[in-house]
Structure 1
Amino acid sequence: MTNPPPGERMRAEIAAQPDVLAGLVEHRSALAEVAARIAAAKPRFVLFAARGTSDHAALYAKYLTEVHLGLPAGSVSPSTTTLYGAEPDLTDVLYVTVSQSGGSPDLVEATRSAKARGALTVAVTNTGDSPLAEAAELAVDVAAGPEVAVAATKTYTATLLSLYLLIDAVRGGTAEAVADIGELAAAALAAEGVDEAVARLRFADRVLTTGRGYSSATAAEAALKLAETSYLPARAYSAADLLHGPVAAVDKDTAVVAVASAGRGGDAVREALEVVAGNGADIIAAGSAAADVPATLRIGLPTTAEEIAPILEILPLQRLAHGLALARGGDPDAPRGLSKVTRTR
């Protein structure tokens, strides 16, 4: 049996996302019991535990939680439990652990500890029989199907959508905003400008990604994808944080990938991009508001409710990472030093 061409696994999983997302919406009733348990518990705040790509999905969920549920939300450091033995009181806390594999020992241990200290624990994972799903009181299956490429693509967007559907169900929503998410995702994957962006970034030495609000998660995930597939030193900043110092290091030799979608976050990112453009940076803007911000290249996407945009924004940027890895002579299916499941303690 011959091996597939370089990047074929990642390419196929990127292409599968419209069907995966449409299927999640169709079967969203599977989340009803978990949502009902959360609503009945009336948590006083929400904590998210995650690593890597899943941590970016958790950042997205943090925005959803605070904006749509009106609950304070934060990101925990599993090592405070696994390395330092901290035992904070988690009575009446909702503790959500996000992990596509559900196999990292530190996340499993931290979840067990949170449950023992009074939290209602929920595992959000693509592996229903994982140690994490068994450790948590409740579990959400993101139903992306097997993902064999090392770089997470379909599990990331499926996790975003699962978290949106869960939080929407907790607040009694009808998921109307994502009714046609499969069609929107197909349109986002077909967006023009990605091949030109690959050509512009092929010889880049450093890349900065930025976004604001919900899109901060997209900027973080895009930087990770570029780093792990193309070995580019990519750094993500919130557009607000960018103006608090790092913008001074941006010049004509800096490539900037900016995420700008219709809404308050897209409006807020414009100010930072005006400063970045003034420094001479090469700006690639992606999103439904890409036409409204300073940029040298724009990748336009369908307009949606702002809280849905991150599910679509990352799609052309996954294509960018895939294409750039191949253009630079690499294989995005075999990034050096990485494996599909990362086990930390």
Structure 2
Amino acid sequence: MSAALPLPTDTLMFREAAETADVVQRQFAANAATVARLADDLRRDPPPFIATCARGSSDHAATYAKYVFETQLGFVTASVSPSVGSVYEAKQRMCGALFLAISQSGKSPDLLRNAEAARAAGARVVALVNAEDSPLAALADTVLPLHAGPERSVAATKSYLASLAAVLQLAAVWKNEAPLLDALSRLPDALRGAWQADWSALADGLVDARNLFVLGRGLGLGAAQEAALKFKETCGLHAEAYSSAEVKHGPMALVGPGFPVLAFAQPDETGAGTLALAEEFRARGAPVWVASEKGDLPLASSPHPACAPLLAVQSFYRVINALALRRGHNPDVPPHLNKVTETV
């Protein structure tokens, strides 16, 4: 007989995700001086482009970074495939670039090899890492610790949102304009509100589901990617993330009665298109849930559009923890997975 499942509030995932607001508040204060120095350097000597390198949830944070840096700062930001440096050993032209490595453990060999290669090629290596004593932190030019503290659940929660918060803090201080800077001070309380949001309708609707699409766009695409991963690893539920624009190029042919859709509607220029697509899918008979300030899944009021993905994911973490248990899974110990994944 399998072990009894814990109560929803007794899982490590629940308790760790609930710490996020305090983690972000602590991180902003602890990293303020380092971020200010880095931002001064980047304004004085701007990079020609920004490259990110990460895997898993950290790569979803890199997706968020792409849209933050491109929309708020105007720097082209591209994801570097870890295998290009670690398996193919292909040298890249990165002189003067900002190379952003994002990792919880800072130990994965492929990430380390790419960071070393980027530094050798003349890039400035900045590590967003939870383990300050990690090999990645040791080789980086600048370390922005996540300050998430120990995270024992296999499913990353507070460390993922801490990664997004670190990206946001760097972008805000680098840009040095009031709207984004003001949002930083309001974000921890907004996260506390997001944790209390009632998304139970999503759990009710997906208890017996076998697959679904998760949609987002722009700043919200990384949130959709993170949600799809969590459905798979904690609930045994096949989910695929798509841009609400990209899904129209073939995948939406699958959507109809019995094919659920979760849509993250950003409170920005992409929101109207996502909402219109959600209505189109509803008209086909698909079960659809929309996370927005006026949607089926209430999104906490965001101090800035760039904060909205953090709030959406924080609300999502609470409901995915509950859904996993209702489907008979312990979200803390997904089958076949380890907390630290080291790839080459």
With the length of structure 1 as denominator, give the TM-score of the two structures.
Answer: 0.93
Report the equivalent of 2:168: 164
CA distance in 2: counterparts of 1:104 and 1:289, whole angstroms: 41
Per the alignment, residue 332 of structure 1 pairs with 331
Q: Please tell me whether residue 267 in structure 1 is matched to residue 266 in structure 2.
A: no
Looking at structure 2, the residues matched to 196 and 73 of structure 1 have their Cα atoms a distance apart, in angstroms, of 36
Asked if structure 1 preserves the Cα contact closer than 8 Å seen for 2:96 and 2:123, the reply is yes
Q: Distance in 1 between matches of 2:80 and 2:306?
A: 23
Correspondence for 2:211 = 206
What displacement does 1:98 show? Answer: 0.7
**Structure 2: distance between partners of 1:159 and 1:140:** 9
| C-alpha distance in structure 1 between counterparts of 2:299 and 2:87, whole Å | 45
SS, match of residue 108 in structure 1: helix
Segment drifting more, 320-329 vs 32-41: 32-41
The equivalent residue for 2:239 is: 234
1:25 paired residue among 23, 28, 40: 28
Give CA-to-partner distance per residue, 1:130-164, whole Å, 9 cap, x none: 11111221111111111111101001111101111
Paired residues of 2:5 and 2:329 also in contact (CA < 8 A):
no
SS state at 2:144 partner: strand
Letter in 2 for 1:226: F
Q: 8 Å contact 2:278–2:290 — kept in the other structure? A: no
- Matching residue of 1:294: none
Stretch of structure 1 that moved more, 32-41 or 257-266 = 32-41
Task: Indicate which of 173, 176, 179 corresponds to 2:182.
Answer: 176
Secondary structure of the equivalent of 1:179? helix
Aligned to 2:305: 306
Counterpart for residue 112 of structure 1: 116
Please tell me whether the aligned partners of residues 221 and 243 of structure 2 are also in contact (alpha carbons under 8 angstroms): yes
CA distance in 2, matches of 1:82, 1:284: 40
* Partners of 2:109 and 2:343 within 8 A in 1: yes
- Return the offset for 1:300: 3.5
Paired amino acid for 2:316: L
CA shift at 1:198, angstroms? Answer: 1.0
Q: How big is the shift at 1:213?
A: 1.2
What's the counterpart of residue 153 of structure 1? 157
Runs of at least 4 residues of structure 1 off by over 6 A? none
Alignment partner, residue 9 of structure 1: 12
Percent identity between matched residues is 35
- Mapped to 2, the partners of 1:68 and 1:195 lie a distance apart of 34
Code of the residue aligned with 1:5 in structure 2: it is P
- Post-superposition Cα deviations, 1:67-104, rounded to whole Å, max 9, x if no partner, equal 11111111111111111111122111111111111111
1:256 maps to what in 2? 261
Q: Which amino acid counterpart does residue 239 of structure 1 have in structure 2?
A: S
Give the Cα separation in 2 of the matches to 1:18 and 1:89.
38
Aligned-pair CA distance for 1:304: 3.0
Q: Work out whether residues 261 and 289 of structure 1, in 8 Å CA contact, stay in contact via their aligned partners in 2.
A: no
Contact 1:261 1:303 in 2 (8 A): no
Q: Deviations over 1:283-313 (max 9, x none)?
A: 11113242xxxxxx43342233111111101
| Shift in CA distance, 279/62, structure 1 to aligned 2, threshold 3 Å | same
Partner of 1:50 in structure 2? 54
Q: Is the contact made by 2:187 and 2:303 (CA closer than 8 Å) also made in structure 1?
A: no
Counterpart of 2:140 in structure 1 is 136
Q: TM-score, normalised by structure 2?
A: 0.93
Q: For residues 107-138 of structure 1, what are the alpha-carbon distances to aligned partners after superposition, in whole Å with 9 as ceiling and x for unaligned?
A: 01100011001111111111111111112211
Larger deviation, residues 272-281 vs 309-318: 272-281
Look up the equivalent residue of 1:74 and give its one-letter code: A
Matched positions, count: 336
| Paired residues of 2:217 and 2:266 also in contact (CA < 8 A) | no
d(CA) in 2 for partners of 1:303, 1:62: 20
Match of 2:290 among 272, 285, 290: 285
2:249 matched residue in structure 1: 244
**1:100 paired to 2:104:** yes
Instruction: Extract unaligned runs of 5+ from structure 1.
Output: 291-296
Structure 2: distance between partners of 1:323 and 1:229: 10
What is the SS of the residue equivalent to 1:264? coil
- In structure 1, what is the Cα distance between the partners aligned to 2:245 and 2:36? 36
Which residue in the other structure is 2:316 paired with? 317
